[in-house]
Amino acid sequence: MRDETRYWETRDEGLLITEVAAMNRVVARIAGKLSDVHPPGVDVRAPIFRHNQFEHLEMNDDAEGGP
């Protein structure tokens, strides 16, 4: 089993939230870049685009209160 958030070992909800926020920022940046450079006629879709703070995540600011 693998737990990138370390919640399994720590049961620390604050740590879980921080780690998930960091992961969301990484996914948003990658999805945003792919969306920016996709060729005409190719539709880039990802659930992260529906996140209510997507633009903040993509720009790596602290909208979610994470690091």
**Residue 2 within any structural domain of the chain:** no
**Residue 6 within any structural domain of the chain:** no
Mean pLDDT score of the chain: 89
41 Cα distance to chain centroid: 25
pLDDT surpassing 60 at residue 67: no
- How many domains does the structure of the chain reveal? 1
Q: What is the DSSP string of 5-22?
A: T-HHHH--HHHHHHHHHH
User: How confident is the model over 11-38, as pLDDT tens digits?
Assistant: 999 999 999 999 999 999 999 999 999 8
Nearest Cα to 16, choosing from 26, 5, 30?
Answer: 5
pLDDT band per the 50, 70, 90 thresholds, residue 65: very low
User: How confident is the model over 36-51, as pLDDT tens digits?
Assistant: 998 989 999 999 999 9
Rg of the chain taking only CA atoms, in angstroms: 14
| pTM of the predicted model as reported, rounded to 2 decimal places | 0.77
**Residue 48 within any structural domain of the chain:** yes
- Domain range enclosing 53: 11-58
Structure tokens at 61: 């600011």
